[in-house]
Amino acid sequence: MEDLAHKQMFFCTCKIATMPKTLQALLRLSRRLYNYSVYVRRKNTPLPWRWLSVEALVDMKFSTMSDVWSYGICCWEIFELGKRPWCNYPQLTLDFISDIKNGVRLEKPNNCRQNYFDDILFPCWKHERSERPKFAEIVDAWRTKTKTSDA
């Protein structure tokens, strides 16, 4: 799945159901990257800006690493029991983009353990996409965290 860019991953698109149905729904919204690592969006249709990575907001470039960013936002939503991310920004503004570019990130959700936030969610929002964890690393981190006694 490293060759797919979902580009619209946010909580309401992720059905909590059996894995095949969820995966099928997500794949319908994705784009195959083929020999490229980045998908550049050309159409002028609205996107869920609260879930977009720096490079998606600024350059409309989507990749599996921009999906990792969105995944981190989805996890934040789950821990916040469905609260809207960035609710202090009622709409997309240049201030929001500037804040994201300058390193402003969501705070730790109330229902999230500190080590989950520090080791799983927060790394998803690194400015440089090459520094973000791959999905396989995120899965391993969840497995490790949920098996340890401090989970």
At 65 the three-state DSSP class reads helix
85-134 confidence digits (pLDDT tens): 999 999 989 999 999 999 999 999 999 999 999 999 999 999 999 999 99
pLDDT of 42: 57
Question: Dihedral through CA 141, CA 144, CA 145, CA 147, nearest 10?
Answer: 150
Residue 19 Cα to chain centre, angstroms: 19
Hey, how many other C-beta atoms are within 10 angstroms of the C-beta on 144? 12
Give 10's pLDDT tier (boundaries 50, 70, 90).
Answer: low
Give 13's pLDDT tier (boundaries 50, 70, 90).
Answer: low
Angle between helices 64-79 and 135-147 (to 10 degrees): 30
Give 62's pLDDT tier (boundaries 50, 70, 90).
Answer: confident
23-47 confidence digits (pLDDT tens): 444 444 445 544 444 444 556 667 7
Identify the CATH number of the domain defined by range 4-147: 1.10.510.10
**C-alpha distances out from residue 49 to 46, 94, 97, Å:** 8, 12, 10
Question: Does 16 have pLDDT greater than 80?
Answer: no
pLDDT of 41: 54
As a whole-number percent, the residues of the chain with pLDDT over 70 amount to 68
Encoded amino acid at 13, one letter: T
